[in-house]
A and B are shown apart, each in its own frame.
Chain A
Amino acid sequence: MSEQPQFTIRVDQNKFLPEGGREVHAIVSVESTGGPPTAARPAAAAAEVIIIDTSGSMSYPDAKLHAAIAAAQAAIDTLRDGVNFAVVSGANSASMVFPAQPALVPADANSRAMAKRELSRLKAQGGTAIGSWLRLADQLFDAHQHGIRHAILLTDGKNQHESAEELDAVLARCTGRFVCDCRGIGTDWEVAELRKVSSALLGSVGLVADPRDLVADFQAMTEDAMGKAVADVSLRVWTPQTAKLRFVKQVMPSVEDLTARRTESGPQAGDYPLGAWGTESRDYHICVEVPAGEVGKELRAAWAKLVVPGGPGRPEQVLATGNVLALWTDDEVQSTRINPRVAHYTGQTELDSAIQEGLQARKDGDLDTATARLGRAVVLADEVGNEAITTLLRKMVDVVDLATGTVRLKKNVDKADEMSLDTTSSKTVRTRKGEG
């Protein structure tokens, strides 16, 4: 068993509440400072499944399938020796590309070469049934539940050959079993659909508009997966018995509402699964409603812990803890101050919502709402200093007046630009440019 990296929890908040104040906000930052695996701390056991869409549309144009094959081959080259892996092709159903039998094999020079050769023989034919692909991946991971479990899923189309209920059922089955990063190639796939998959499986979603970018993207995803040191960590949040946990949201590197993912883990405590963790930091926004206290009273409003949940024969491990406090004061200067990091991430959460509502309204033909929401998004993106989103927004709208958020929707918008904004709206930046 390898040594685990060091974890720290930092809490940013204004703990001071005015008399009668009840809402406590805090940004909980979790960071691993262990660095990359070393001889003393060897990499954790890992398993990787690469799922390539081979529906007929992947041949229109042919470049898509060729790019997918090249990307998968690059990912295989990125796997560490000894990582258990497999390649799956997906159409109306899933089938093994490598190895031939439904199992994972350790990566070595020989297995890599064989896998790459099998990939080069792929042909595109049939439909799209993403749930069935994930079901096969889940089966492959079955024998490897104790290490890092990561999948890459590439598709170019809508999930047309199974029902939404079938997909939901598979997602419910796979949640917590492996992490899956999803990529869409071309512009014929549904962002919302693929986001549902990546969100349930604690992965990312992205658009690869140009097939030539796919190789680098697959390499990056695989490298990231290889860098994970701990397979399954959870954020445990304790709250006072008299308190109500309003929400727990991941706010960095992207906005993800975790509130509904709670599983009770003890008296007044719940766990929120975070998936695998490498040398990285993520931030969470916690909001707790507490009963109003007298001036001078101090409360632990929440107690955040990073835990590796226990299992049969494995005791639970607490890797780091942090306190969210509430302290009532009659000093308005103290109680009215808003913590800058809470404000920053509140702005980015609102930015994500404004973009999603604006894009949905635009699809629905409600152009007034679309204009208003995307105008608001332009202002927020500028305020929080999210330049990637600002750039994408300006492909959708012409800014008339930045101060008031007055914008005009562009007449002709590239589908890829719209989808790119859709997949990027939840991505956050840590600080404004030039700060911190």
Chain B
Amino acid sequence: MTEDPSVTKPAELSCPICTEVVYAGEDFCEACGHRLNEDAPSPPPEGFSPPPREGLTMKTTPSARTAGHEAASSRACTGCGQKAIDADGYCEHCGLRQPAERDHIEIELPGPGTGPGGDGAAKAPAAAGASDRGKRYSRNEDAIALAVHAQGVAAVVCDGVGSSPHPDDASRAAADTGVAELVALLEAGEDPESATRAAALRAAEAVAALAPSPSESPSCTYVSAVTGPGSVTVGWIGDSRAYWLSPSPDGGAATEAGTESGGGGEGDDGPDTAEFALSEDTEDVTELGPPRQLTDDDSWAAIMVAQGALTEAEAEAHPNAHVITAWLGADADEIRPHVRTFTPGGPGTLLVCSDGLWNYFPAAEDLAALLTGPAGDPAGDPLGTARTLVQHALNAGGRDNVTVAVIPFPGAAPLPTPSTEHDR
């Protein structure tokens, strides 16, 4: 491991604007995005459009929030049990802020024959998702939406940019718009790649429309996945990811964790860094075998790794690890969704997630290794897998909002009954 004290060593420095602690070598304040060093020592890599604007790309610290206004209700306090929740969501007895609806979400997309009015015969769900606000943040700024289309499943996961205003509104609008557009376009006969691209652009428009002024732009990341007969298409903007997880070749559900873990960087299973500069779509379709990451982050860390300036482990440990270079928002540069299509060589699981999960398990093998116990049957119980993966992230620290969508492949031909977290 190379020593680079300027990268990871904390120093007693603080941001001149917001007094947040900052680190030597950091060019921007993590809390408020203020530019710390006008003469940044390392010139930005080629293709990196600096600066990724102040105040918005830093998403590790949420801006101050106010309690969401919820209607006063007669529900009992989760702390003391008294039925005295006021309109601001606080218990009038013990003061506890009541969990918001978005604090923890679970969605199960019914498989064929289990829709409303079905005979109730248990068939495997088409897909499932889980989302949790985590242990550090008081609000869940991630959003997830799942739906079936005539040929398979569509899923979108979005992560609100913490330094932007109302990031939770941005992610909600993007996920809902993205999935609705995907289903509509696919069912209108659009091919998965153009549907993916068009849906991402429509989601971007929906997010941009939320901005009351150019200086206040709710922003979020975006990742979509659609399954069809024999193929998987992913599209993304930002650092939310899609993975392909497949059973290990020896036939077990997964091998022991750790064979390729410990920071990654050694394996060649990760995104091919040579592909990185290709922000345009890949034209050729890649066959899927062992577990692998399907997306490449639009992030400072990914660029540093792609340039060979930092190892993956170093980049992930760096305070700038969460600086993204592309996002949906009124102040974003031209939106250019990355789109890729893959053909699975056998059954597996498509995993779509926010960085709240992959922060702790960046390598595809490590994620695959988690598919044991209650997570061990993604095809039969995708919700069990999603819930367990979220729990793994919480157990590992839960520093960020965590969102996971689990889509078994190949699924049975599903019924067209869209389901988002709104109508769970």
Using a CB–CB distance below 8 Å, which chain A residues touch chain B?
Answer: 239-243, 267-268, 290, 295-301, 303, 323, 325, 327, 329-331, 333, 337, 340
- A54 smallest CB distance to B (angstroms): 55
- B36 smallest CB distance to A (angstroms): 16
Query: Is there an interface contact between A242 and B94, defined as CB atoms closer than 8 Å?
Result: yes
Q: What would 17 more interface pairs be, CB under 8 Å, given A240-B95, A243-B95?
A: A240-B93, A240-B96, A242-B94, A268-B93, A296-B136, A296-B138, A297-B96, A299-B94, A299-B96, A299-B97, A300-B88, A300-B96, A323-B67, A323-B90, A327-B138, A337-B19, A340-B19
Query: Is there an interface contact between A323 and B88, defined as CB atoms closer than 8 Å?
Result: yes
Contact partner of A330 (CB less than 8 A), chosen from B90, B91, B96, B135, is B135
Please tell me if B21 contacts chain A, counting CB pairs below 8 Å.
yes
Contact partner of A331 (CB less than 8 A), chosen from B91, B94, B133, B136, is B136
Instruction: List 25 A–B pairs whose Cβ atoms lie within 8 Å, in order of A's numbering.
Output: A240-B91, A240-B96, A241-B94, A243-B95, A268-B93, A290-B95, A295-B136, A296-B133, A296-B134, A296-B398, A297-B97, A298-B96, A298-B97, A299-B95, A299-B96, A300-B88, A300-B90, A300-B97, A303-B90, A329-B136, A330-B135, A330-B136, A331-B136, A333-B21, A340-B19
Known: A323-B88, A333-B21. A298 touches B138 (CB 8 A): yes
| A contact residues around B91 at 8 Å (CB) | 240, 300
Known: A333-B21, A337-B19. A240 touches B94 (CB 8 A): yes
A interface footprint on B91-114 (CB within 8 Å = 1, 0 otherwise): 111111100000000000000000
A interface footprint on B13-51 (CB within 8 Å = 1, 0 otherwise): 000000111000000000000000000000000000000
Known: A323-B67, A333-B21, A337-B19. A301 touches B95 (CB 8 A): yes
| B contact residues around A331 at 8 Å (CB) | 136
Q: Which residue in chain A gives the minimum CB-CB distance to B93?
A: A241
Per CB-CB distance, the 10 closest pairs between chain A and chain B, nearest first, are: A240-B95, A298-B97, A300-B95, A300-B90, A299-B95, A296-B135, A240-B94, A333-B21, A298-B138, A295-B135
| A contact residues around B135 at 8 Å (CB) | 295-296, 330
Q: Which residue in chain A gives the minimum CB-CB distance to B10?
A: A333
- What is the CA–CA distance of A279 and B93 in the complex, to the nearest angstrom? 35
- A16 smallest CB distance to B (angstroms): 10
- B91 smallest CB distance to A (angstroms): 8
| A contact residues around B88 at 8 Å (CB) | 300, 323
| A contact residues around B67 at 8 Å (CB) | 323
| B contact residues around A303 at 8 Å (CB) | 90
Q: Which residue in chain B gives the minimum CB-CB distance to A242?
A: B94
- What is the CA–CA distance of A298 and B136 in the complex, to the nearest angstrom? 11
- What is the CA–CA distance of A330 and B394 in the complex, to the nearest angstrom? 13
**Size bin of chain B's contact surface:** 20 to 34
A interface footprint on B127-139 (CB within 8 Å = 1, 0 otherwise): 0000001111010
- B94 smallest CB distance to A (angstroms): 5
| A contact residues around B133 at 8 Å (CB) | 296
- B86 smallest CB distance to A (angstroms): 9
- What is the CA–CA distance of A301 and B97 in the complex, to the nearest angstrom? 10
- B9 smallest CB distance to A (angstroms): 15
| B contact residues around A242 at 8 Å (CB) | 94
- A8 smallest CB distance to B (angstroms): 15
- B90 smallest CB distance to A (angstroms): 4
- A15 smallest CB distance to B (angstroms): 9
| A contact residues around B80 at 8 Å (CB) | 241
| B contact residues around A300 at 8 Å (CB) | 88, 90-91, 95-97
A interface footprint on B190-232 (CB within 8 Å = 1, 0 otherwise): 0000000000000000000000000000000000000000000
- A387 smallest CB distance to B (angstroms): 24
- What is the CA–CA distance of A183 and B114 in the complex, to the nearest angstrom? 84
| B contact residues around A239 at 8 Å (CB) | 95
- A236 smallest CB distance to B (angstroms): 14
- What is the CA–CA distance of A329 and B19 in the complex, to the nearest angstrom? 19
| A contact residues around B19 at 8 Å (CB) | 337, 340
- A326 smallest CB distance to B (angstroms): 8
- What is the CA–CA distance of A331 and B31 in the complex, to the nearest angstrom? 14
Residue from A296, A301, A323, A329 whose CB has the most chain B CB atoms within 10 Å:
A296
- What is the CA–CA distance of A296 and B92 in the complex, to the nearest angstrom? 19
- What is the CA–CA distance of A330 and B67 in the complex, to the nearest angstrom? 21
| B contact residues around A290 at 8 Å (CB) | 95
- What is the CA–CA distance of A267 and B95 in the complex, to the nearest angstrom? 13
| B contact residues around A329 at 8 Å (CB) | 136
- What is the CA–CA distance of A330 and B91 in the complex, to the nearest angstrom? 24
- A189 smallest CB distance to B (angstroms): 45
- What is the CA–CA distance of A290 and B90 in the complex, to the nearest angstrom? 15
- A20 smallest CB distance to B (angstroms): 15
Q: Which residue in chain B gives the minimum CB-CB distance to A329?
A: B136
| B contact residues around A325 at 8 Å (CB) | 97
- What is the CA–CA distance of A340 and B14 in the complex, to the nearest angstrom? 14
Q: Which residue in chain A gives the minimum CB-CB distance to B67?
A: A323
| A contact residues around B94 at 8 Å (CB) | 240-242, 299
- What is the CA–CA distance of A298 and B133 in the complex, to the nearest angstrom? 13
| A contact residues around B90 at 8 Å (CB) | 300, 303, 323
- B138 smallest CB distance to A (angstroms): 5
Q: Which residue in chain A gives the minimum CB-CB distance to B397?
A: A330
